[in-house]
Structure 1
Amino acid sequence: MKHNLEHFSEIMDEWYSQVPEEMLKEDKFLKLASNKGEDVASESVQSIVEEIIANTQTTAPKLLIGGAENYCRMMIDTYSNDYLSKVFDTKHDAGSREYIVKAFRYYSENNCTENN
């Protein structure tokens, strides 16, 4: 953890340089938020969450994000932030941020081995 914090900008620069161009153009989080009328347990919503996790695990350094359970916790914590809530919901409709949190929480509770 200390190493990651000390070298955060280098790790992020390296990670960003490895992100495929199509991932930079298509924001999966916006795709997820656009489904907010749908039940977070639905197959289509959970497949978007799985896709986000899979893409992150293939492109981000393992030391930075860890496994699926850790990544889900990171996303839940990040999108639960009050400031981010205001920014994200203002830009992408009220409730979008909360929907993302619920979708990742459902995935974590039902698919991560640490919870089963």
Structure 2
Amino acid sequence: MKGGLDTVRTIIQALTAKVKAENFCTTDGISYLKAKHLPLLNYCQSLVYYLLQKAKGLSIQGHPVVQSLVEIRLYLEKIRPIDKKLQYQIQKLRMVTTTPEEKSGSSEIEADTT
């Protein structure tokens, strides 16, 4: 899970840096990526906390983390149709931001993102 999270963070940071340097003309597009990035990180954090509580044998019934996981999951499911519509543009941006060394392993990352 940590490896996947690090990969997502690296890709998003590379895209954000290029947009801030004004290498891309994305007045509206980056806001969607930011809007998706933050809930994904929050979901991963909540999921790790949930698993930690379960591993310790503590009861999670009525715990706020469960409600948080449900809310974030619903949000992510609601934006899934937008992801499908924007998948081509996001893949195109990813290809521009990857270095030649990263492109050799990009098929593995693409399988994870789909």
Common fold by TM > 0.5: no
Q: Which protein shows a greater Rg?
A: 2
Give the shorter-chain TM-score range: 0.3 to 0.5
TM-score normalised to structure 2 length: 0.32
Higher helix share: 2
TM-score normalised to structure 1 length: 0.32
